[in-house]
Amino acid sequence: MAEKIEFTETVEENVNVLVENGRKVVLAGLGAVTLAQEELVNVFHNLVERGSTTEEKTRSMVNKQVENRQKDAKKAAKRVEKEVEKRFENLLHWMNIPSKNDIDKLSRKVTTLNKKVNDLNKTA
């Protein structure tokens, strides 16, 4: 009968060890899930942070490109405007039509001559 008691005690000890080991496995599983969840949250926050930084850099780069293109377009528009004015002025000259500049020069000369005539009339 002593052998039977030892066997029963050994079975109870084995059951206790098995239950304890099972509990540890369950706790390890819960720990793994918790750790994975924490890591996923950290990874998510890091990704959001990097995405925000990338968005800011991209916006800045695009804004600079737009500004550069606008400056280039303004410069090109000024060059085109000057060229059109030059060609139009040449066309007017070719057609023997005075330009605004020519008319302004003549107006200044007429004004100057009028003053001289008025001054001469006052002295005479």
In tens digits, what is the pLDDT along the chain, a chain of 124 residues? Answer: 445 555 556 777 878 888 899 999 999 999 999 999 999 999 999 999 999 999 999 999 999 999 999 999 999 999 999 999 899 888 888 898 888 888 899 999 999 999 999 988 888 6
On whether the CB atoms of residues 92 and 99 are closer than 8 A, the answer is yes
Tokens of 65: 């490109």
For 115-121, the CB contacts below 8 A with 24+ separation are none
DSSP letter for 98, please.
-
Tokens of 123: 């002295």
* Model pTM score: 0.46
On whether the CB atoms of residues 92 and 98 are closer than 8 A, the answer is yes
- Residue 19's identity, in one-letter code, is V
Tokens of 96: 């023997």
